[in-house]
Structure 1
Protein backbone atom coordinates (compact mmCIF):
# COMPACT_ATOMS: atom_id res chain seq x y z
CA UNK A 1 0.00 0.00 0.00
CA UNK A 2 1.43 3.38 -1.01
CA UNK A 3 1.48 6.01 1.73
CA UNK A 4 -0.71 9.06 1.48
CA UNK A 5 0.34 12.68 1.22
CA UNK A 6 0.18 15.55 3.70
CA UNK A 7 -0.56 19.22 3.14
CA UNK A 8 0.28 21.13 6.32
CA UNK A 9 -1.49 24.49 6.53
CA UNK A 10 0.62 26.45 9.03
CA UNK A 11 -0.20 29.91 10.31
CA UNK A 12 -1.37 31.72 13.40
CA UNK A 13 -4.84 31.36 14.84
CA UNK A 14 -7.48 33.13 12.72
CA UNK A 15 -5.23 33.30 9.64
CA UNK A 16 -7.70 31.26 7.56
CA UNK A 17 -6.25 27.75 7.68
CA UNK A 18 -9.59 26.06 8.35
CA UNK A 19 -11.39 27.92 5.57
CA UNK A 20 -8.62 27.11 3.10
CA UNK A 21 -8.66 23.44 4.13
CA UNK A 22 -12.43 23.19 3.63
CA UNK A 23 -12.16 24.96 0.26
CA UNK A 24 -9.41 22.56 -0.89
CA UNK A 25 -11.43 19.38 -0.36
CA UNK A 26 -13.64 19.64 -3.48
CA UNK A 27 -10.65 20.79 -5.59
CA UNK A 28 -8.35 17.85 -4.91
CA UNK A 29 -8.57 14.86 -7.28
CA UNK A 30 -8.22 12.10 -4.69
CA UNK A 31 -10.04 11.58 -1.39
CA UNK A 32 -8.47 13.76 1.31
CA UNK A 33 -9.15 14.09 5.04
CA UNK A 34 -9.18 17.55 6.62
CA UNK A 35 -7.79 16.90 10.10
CA UNK A 36 -7.59 20.13 12.10
CA UNK A 37 -5.84 20.05 15.46
CA UNK A 38 -8.95 21.76 16.89
CA UNK A 39 -10.94 18.66 15.92
CA UNK A 40 -8.65 16.46 18.00
CA UNK A 41 -8.65 18.94 20.88
CA UNK A 42 -12.45 19.09 20.69
CA UNK A 43 -12.67 15.37 21.47
CA UNK A 44 -11.11 15.92 24.90
CA UNK A 45 -13.44 15.90 27.89
CA UNK A 46 -14.23 19.25 29.39
CA UNK A 47 -15.61 17.97 32.68
CA UNK A 48 -12.77 17.66 35.17
CA UNK A 49 -13.05 16.34 38.69
CA UNK A 50 -10.45 18.89 39.74
CA UNK A 51 -8.99 22.13 38.45
CA UNK A 52 -5.71 21.63 36.59
CA UNK A 53 -2.81 23.91 37.38
CA UNK A 54 -0.87 25.65 34.60
CA UNK A 55 1.83 22.94 34.43
CA UNK A 56 -0.81 20.20 34.12
CA UNK A 57 -2.61 22.14 31.39
CA UNK A 58 0.62 22.54 29.44
CA UNK A 59 1.39 18.80 29.80
CA UNK A 60 -2.13 17.91 28.62
CA UNK A 61 -1.84 20.23 25.61
CA UNK A 62 1.58 18.82 24.69
CA UNK A 63 0.24 15.23 24.89
CA UNK A 64 -2.71 16.25 22.72
CA UNK A 65 -0.43 17.76 20.08
CA UNK A 66 1.96 14.79 20.14
CA UNK A 67 -1.07 12.53 19.68
CA UNK A 68 -2.31 14.69 16.81
CA UNK A 69 1.00 14.23 14.99
CA UNK A 70 0.67 10.46 15.36
CA UNK A 71 -2.98 10.42 14.24
CA UNK A 72 -1.92 12.12 11.01
CA UNK A 73 1.00 9.70 10.59
CA UNK A 74 -1.32 6.71 11.12
CA UNK A 75 -3.75 7.97 8.47
CA UNK A 76 -0.98 8.67 5.97
CA UNK A 77 0.76 5.34 6.65
CA UNK A 78 -2.37 3.50 5.50
CA UNK A 79 -2.63 5.40 2.21
CA UNK A 80 -4.86 8.30 3.26
CA UNK A 81 -4.20 11.88 2.14
CA UNK A 82 -4.41 14.45 4.94
CA UNK A 83 -4.73 18.22 5.12
CA UNK A 84 -3.41 19.38 8.49
CA UNK A 85 -4.76 22.64 9.93
CA UNK A 86 -2.06 23.31 12.52
CA UNK A 87 0.06 26.22 13.74
CA UNK A 88 3.75 25.42 14.20
CA UNK A 89 3.70 27.85 17.12
CA UNK A 90 6.18 26.02 19.32
CA UNK A 91 9.62 24.95 18.02
CA UNK A 92 9.27 21.37 19.28
CA UNK A 93 6.24 20.82 17.03
CA UNK A 94 8.25 20.97 13.79
CA UNK A 95 10.99 18.81 15.28
CA UNK A 96 8.50 16.10 16.28
CA UNK A 97 6.69 16.27 12.94
CA UNK A 98 9.98 15.92 11.07
CA UNK A 99 10.56 12.64 12.92
CA UNK A 100 6.98 11.32 12.88
CA UNK A 101 6.39 12.14 9.19
CA UNK A 102 9.80 10.98 8.00
CA UNK A 103 9.43 9.22 4.66
CA UNK A 104 6.08 10.82 3.79
CA UNK A 105 5.34 13.44 1.14
CA UNK A 106 4.63 16.63 3.10
CA UNK A 107 3.82 19.97 1.48
CA UNK A 108 4.29 22.85 3.93
CA UNK A 109 2.01 25.82 3.23
CA UNK A 110 2.54 28.97 5.28
CA UNK A 111 -0.71 30.94 5.62
CA UNK A 112 -0.02 34.64 6.25
CA UNK A 113 -2.36 37.42 7.29
CA UNK A 114 -1.72 40.98 8.49
CA UNK A 115 -1.68 41.61 12.24
CA UNK A 116 -4.54 44.08 11.88
CA UNK A 117 -6.73 41.55 10.09
CA UNK A 118 -5.85 38.80 12.59
CA UNK A 119 -6.93 41.09 15.44
CA UNK A 120 -10.16 41.97 13.63
CA UNK A 121 -10.95 38.28 13.03
CA UNK A 122 -10.25 37.35 16.65
CA UNK A 123 -12.60 40.06 17.89
CA UNK A 124 -15.36 38.98 15.51
CA UNK A 125 -14.95 35.23 16.15
CA UNK A 126 -15.25 35.41 19.93
CA UNK A 127 -14.08 31.80 20.24
CA UNK A 128 -10.38 32.53 20.78
CA UNK A 129 -8.59 34.56 23.43
CA UNK A 130 -7.79 38.04 22.13
CA UNK A 131 -4.10 38.23 21.29
CA UNK A 132 -3.69 34.49 20.60
CA UNK A 133 -2.55 35.04 17.00
CA UNK A 134 -0.13 37.79 18.06
CA UNK A 135 1.34 35.48 20.71
CA UNK A 136 2.16 32.78 18.14
CA UNK A 137 5.49 34.37 17.23
CA UNK A 138 7.25 31.08 16.38
CA UNK A 139 4.77 29.99 13.72
CA UNK A 140 7.19 30.70 10.84
CA UNK A 141 10.47 30.32 12.76
CA UNK A 142 11.33 27.10 10.91
CA UNK A 143 12.23 29.42 8.01
CA UNK A 144 11.15 27.27 5.06
CA UNK A 145 8.00 26.37 3.14
CA UNK A 146 6.79 25.06 -0.19
CA UNK A 147 3.96 27.54 -0.76
CA UNK A 148 2.96 30.84 0.84
CA UNK A 149 -0.53 32.34 0.65
CA UNK A 150 -1.81 35.53 2.25
CA UNK A 151 -5.43 35.75 3.37
CA UNK A 152 -5.35 39.43 4.30
CA UNK A 153 -7.18 40.41 1.11
CA UNK A 154 -7.78 37.02 -0.54
CA UNK A 155 -10.58 34.54 -0.02
CA UNK A 156 -10.07 31.06 1.33
CA UNK A 157 -11.30 29.75 -2.02
CA UNK A 158 -8.71 31.78 -3.95
CA UNK A 159 -5.89 30.60 -1.68
CA UNK A 160 -7.12 26.99 -1.88
CA UNK A 161 -7.17 27.16 -5.69
CA UNK A 162 -3.60 28.51 -5.75
CA UNK A 163 -2.34 25.73 -3.45
CA UNK A 164 -4.05 22.96 -5.42
CA UNK A 165 -2.85 24.41 -8.75
CA UNK A 166 0.75 24.50 -7.50
CA UNK A 167 0.89 21.06 -5.84
CA UNK A 168 1.89 18.97 -8.84
CA UNK A 169 4.50 21.50 -10.03
CA UNK A 170 6.47 21.35 -6.78
CA UNK A 171 9.80 19.71 -7.25
CA UNK A 172 11.96 18.14 -4.61
CA UNK A 173 13.33 18.31 -2.18
CA UNK A 174 10.40 19.85 -0.36
CA UNK A 175 10.57 22.00 2.76
CA UNK A 176 10.19 19.08 5.19
CA UNK A 177 13.08 17.23 3.53
CA UNK A 178 15.26 20.36 3.63
CA UNK A 179 14.33 21.03 7.26
CA UNK A 180 15.04 17.41 8.21
CA UNK A 181 18.55 17.73 6.76
CA UNK A 182 19.05 21.03 8.60
CA UNK A 183 17.91 19.45 11.92
CA UNK A 184 20.09 16.34 11.60
CA UNK A 185 23.13 16.55 13.89
Structure 2
Protein backbone atom coordinates (compact mmCIF):
# COMPACT_ATOMS: atom_id res chain seq x y z
CA UNK A 1 0.00 0.00 0.00
CA UNK A 2 1.36 3.38 -0.92
CA UNK A 3 2.13 6.10 1.56
CA UNK A 4 -0.06 9.07 0.68
CA UNK A 5 0.21 12.70 1.65
CA UNK A 6 -2.95 14.00 3.25
CA UNK A 7 -3.16 17.74 2.78
CA UNK A 8 -6.59 18.07 4.37
CA UNK A 9 -7.34 17.82 8.08
CA UNK A 10 -5.36 15.65 10.44
CA UNK A 11 -3.80 12.91 8.32
CA UNK A 12 -1.36 11.59 10.94
CA UNK A 13 -3.22 8.36 11.73
CA UNK A 14 -3.85 7.53 8.10
CA UNK A 15 -0.19 8.25 7.25
CA UNK A 16 0.98 5.94 10.05
CA UNK A 17 -1.26 3.09 8.94
CA UNK A 18 -0.25 3.37 5.29
CA UNK A 19 3.42 3.52 6.22
CA UNK A 20 3.05 0.42 8.38
CA UNK A 21 1.25 -1.40 5.58
CA UNK A 22 3.99 -0.45 3.15
CA UNK A 23 6.65 -1.87 5.51
CA UNK A 24 4.69 -5.11 5.69
CA UNK A 25 4.60 -5.26 1.88
CA UNK A 26 0.81 -5.18 1.90
CA UNK A 27 -1.03 -3.68 -1.05
CA UNK A 28 -4.33 -5.46 -0.41
CA UNK A 29 -6.33 -2.30 0.17
CA UNK A 30 -5.60 0.75 -1.91
CA UNK A 31 -6.70 4.02 -0.32
CA UNK A 32 -9.57 5.87 -1.99
CA UNK A 33 -7.21 8.81 -2.48
CA UNK A 34 -4.81 6.57 -4.42
CA UNK A 35 -7.65 4.91 -6.38
CA UNK A 36 -8.77 8.31 -7.62
CA UNK A 37 -5.31 9.46 -8.68
CA UNK A 38 -4.56 9.58 -12.40
CA UNK A 39 -1.22 7.89 -11.80
CA UNK A 40 -2.91 4.89 -10.17
CA UNK A 41 -5.45 4.76 -12.99
CA UNK A 42 -2.59 4.69 -15.49
CA UNK A 43 -1.15 1.70 -13.63
CA UNK A 44 -4.50 -0.09 -13.65
CA UNK A 45 -5.07 0.63 -17.35
CA UNK A 46 -1.66 -0.80 -18.20
CA UNK A 47 -2.39 -3.83 -16.01
CA UNK A 48 -5.65 -4.44 -17.89
CA UNK A 49 -3.76 -4.11 -21.15
CA UNK A 50 -1.11 -6.73 -20.32
CA UNK A 51 -3.80 -9.01 -18.89
CA UNK A 52 -5.57 -9.05 -22.26
CA UNK A 53 -2.24 -9.43 -24.05
CA UNK A 54 -1.18 -12.46 -22.01
CA UNK A 55 -4.56 -14.16 -22.41
CA UNK A 56 -4.45 -13.53 -26.17
CA UNK A 57 -0.93 -14.97 -26.30
CA UNK A 58 -2.12 -18.15 -24.57
CA UNK A 59 -4.34 -18.74 -27.61
CA UNK A 60 -1.65 -17.82 -30.15
CA UNK A 61 1.36 -19.80 -28.88
CA UNK A 62 -0.07 -23.28 -29.66
CA UNK A 63 -0.48 -22.18 -33.31
CA UNK A 64 3.12 -20.98 -33.42
CA UNK A 65 4.27 -24.21 -31.79
CA UNK A 66 2.36 -26.29 -34.33
CA UNK A 67 3.83 -24.32 -37.25
CA UNK A 68 7.44 -24.63 -36.04
CA UNK A 69 9.57 -27.39 -37.58
CA UNK A 70 12.71 -27.24 -35.42
CA UNK A 71 12.42 -29.40 -32.29
CA UNK A 72 14.24 -26.83 -30.17
CA UNK A 73 11.81 -24.11 -31.24
CA UNK A 74 8.76 -26.36 -30.74
CA UNK A 75 9.94 -27.01 -27.18
CA UNK A 76 10.63 -23.31 -26.58
CA UNK A 77 7.08 -22.41 -27.60
CA UNK A 78 5.68 -25.16 -25.37
CA UNK A 79 7.67 -23.86 -22.41
CA UNK A 80 6.64 -20.29 -23.13
CA UNK A 81 2.99 -21.30 -23.24
CA UNK A 82 3.28 -22.79 -19.75
CA UNK A 83 5.06 -19.66 -18.54
CA UNK A 84 2.45 -17.38 -20.13
CA UNK A 85 -0.36 -19.19 -18.31
CA UNK A 86 1.55 -18.53 -15.09
CA UNK A 87 1.93 -14.88 -16.06
CA UNK A 88 -1.85 -14.61 -16.46
CA UNK A 89 -2.24 -15.96 -12.91
CA UNK A 90 0.29 -13.45 -11.59
CA UNK A 91 -1.52 -10.52 -13.18
CA UNK A 92 -4.73 -11.79 -11.56
CA UNK A 93 -2.86 -11.87 -8.25
CA UNK A 94 -1.92 -8.22 -8.68
CA UNK A 95 -5.55 -7.30 -9.38
CA UNK A 96 -6.38 -9.05 -6.11
CA UNK A 97 -3.68 -7.05 -4.30
CA UNK A 98 -5.29 -3.90 -5.67
CA UNK A 99 -8.64 -5.08 -4.31
CA UNK A 100 -10.39 -5.32 -7.68
CA UNK A 101 -11.60 -8.08 -9.98
CA UNK A 102 -9.40 -8.88 -13.01
CA UNK A 103 -10.52 -6.96 -16.08
CA UNK A 104 -8.95 -7.14 -19.53
CA UNK A 105 -8.69 -4.17 -21.87
CA UNK A 106 -8.01 -4.97 -25.51
CA UNK A 107 -4.33 -4.58 -26.30
CA UNK A 108 -4.08 -3.32 -29.86
CA UNK A 109 -0.32 -3.87 -29.89
CA UNK A 110 -0.51 -7.56 -28.97
CA UNK A 111 -3.40 -8.12 -31.36
CA UNK A 112 -1.27 -6.69 -34.16
CA UNK A 113 1.82 -8.72 -33.25
CA UNK A 114 -0.16 -11.97 -33.09
CA UNK A 115 -1.90 -11.16 -36.39
CA UNK A 116 1.52 -10.61 -37.95
CA UNK A 117 2.68 -14.03 -36.74
CA UNK A 118 -0.48 -15.66 -38.08
CA UNK A 119 0.00 -13.99 -41.45
CA UNK A 120 3.50 -15.45 -41.58
CA UNK A 121 2.15 -18.93 -40.80
CA UNK A 122 -0.52 -18.60 -43.48
CA UNK A 123 1.82 -17.35 -46.20
CA UNK A 124 5.09 -19.19 -45.59
CA UNK A 125 5.28 -22.90 -46.34
CA UNK A 126 6.63 -25.20 -43.65
CA UNK A 127 10.39 -24.75 -43.57
CA UNK A 128 13.31 -23.56 -41.47
CA UNK A 129 12.74 -20.12 -43.03
CA UNK A 130 9.32 -20.16 -41.37
CA UNK A 131 11.04 -21.01 -38.07
CA UNK A 132 13.34 -18.01 -38.50
CA UNK A 133 10.28 -15.83 -39.11
CA UNK A 134 8.48 -17.28 -36.10
CA UNK A 135 11.45 -16.46 -33.88
CA UNK A 136 11.33 -12.86 -35.11
CA UNK A 137 7.58 -12.71 -34.45
CA UNK A 138 8.02 -14.20 -30.98
CA UNK A 139 10.81 -11.78 -30.11
CA UNK A 140 8.66 -8.83 -31.16
CA UNK A 141 6.10 -10.11 -28.65
CA UNK A 142 8.79 -10.53 -25.99
CA UNK A 143 10.09 -7.00 -26.49
CA UNK A 144 6.58 -5.61 -26.08
CA UNK A 145 6.09 -7.62 -22.89
CA UNK A 146 9.49 -6.57 -21.53
CA UNK A 147 8.54 -2.92 -22.06
CA UNK A 148 5.10 -3.44 -20.51
CA UNK A 149 6.28 -5.31 -17.41
CA UNK A 150 9.26 -3.02 -16.91
CA UNK A 151 6.99 0.02 -16.98
CA UNK A 152 4.42 -1.58 -14.66
CA UNK A 153 7.13 -2.50 -12.17
CA UNK A 154 8.43 1.08 -12.20
CA UNK A 155 4.94 2.49 -11.59
CA UNK A 156 4.28 -0.03 -8.80
CA UNK A 157 7.56 0.82 -7.07
CA UNK A 158 6.85 4.54 -7.34
CA UNK A 159 3.48 4.10 -5.62
CA UNK A 160 4.89 1.82 -2.93
CA UNK A 161 3.12 -1.32 -4.18
CA UNK A 162 6.12 -3.42 -3.20
CA UNK A 163 4.45 -6.83 -3.41
CA UNK A 164 3.03 -6.10 -6.86
CA UNK A 165 6.40 -4.76 -8.00
CA UNK A 166 8.09 -7.98 -6.87
CA UNK A 167 5.62 -10.10 -8.86
CA UNK A 168 6.10 -7.90 -11.93
CA UNK A 169 9.89 -8.12 -11.58
CA UNK A 170 9.70 -11.93 -11.57
CA UNK A 171 7.70 -11.98 -14.80
CA UNK A 172 9.95 -9.35 -16.37
CA UNK A 173 13.01 -11.52 -15.68
CA UNK A 174 11.32 -14.52 -17.30
CA UNK A 175 10.37 -12.53 -20.40
CA UNK A 176 14.01 -11.45 -20.77
CA UNK A 177 15.16 -15.07 -20.40
CA UNK A 178 12.76 -16.16 -23.15
CA UNK A 179 14.08 -13.44 -25.45
CA UNK A 180 17.66 -14.59 -24.86
CA UNK A 181 16.68 -18.23 -25.49
CA UNK A 182 15.03 -17.34 -28.80
CA UNK A 183 18.17 -15.49 -29.89
CA UNK A 184 20.28 -18.53 -28.99
CA UNK A 185 18.03 -20.85 -31.02
CA UNK A 186 18.22 -18.51 -34.02
CA UNK A 187 21.98 -18.10 -33.85
CA UNK A 188 22.89 -21.70 -33.04
CA UNK A 189 21.13 -23.37 -35.97
CA UNK A 190 17.93 -21.92 -37.41
CA UNK A 191 19.31 -18.87 -39.23
CA UNK A 192 22.17 -20.85 -40.76
CA UNK A 193 19.85 -23.60 -41.99
CA UNK A 194 17.33 -21.06 -43.27
CA UNK A 195 20.04 -19.35 -45.33
CA UNK A 196 20.89 -22.61 -47.08
CA UNK A 197 17.29 -23.32 -48.07
CA UNK A 198 16.34 -22.70 -51.67
Common fold: TM-score over 0.5: no
More helix by share: 2
Q: Larger % of strand: which?
A: 1
TM-score calculated relative to the size of structure 2? 0.26
Q: Normalization by structure 1: what TM-score? A: 0.28
Task: Report the structure number with the largest CA radius of gyration.
Answer: 2
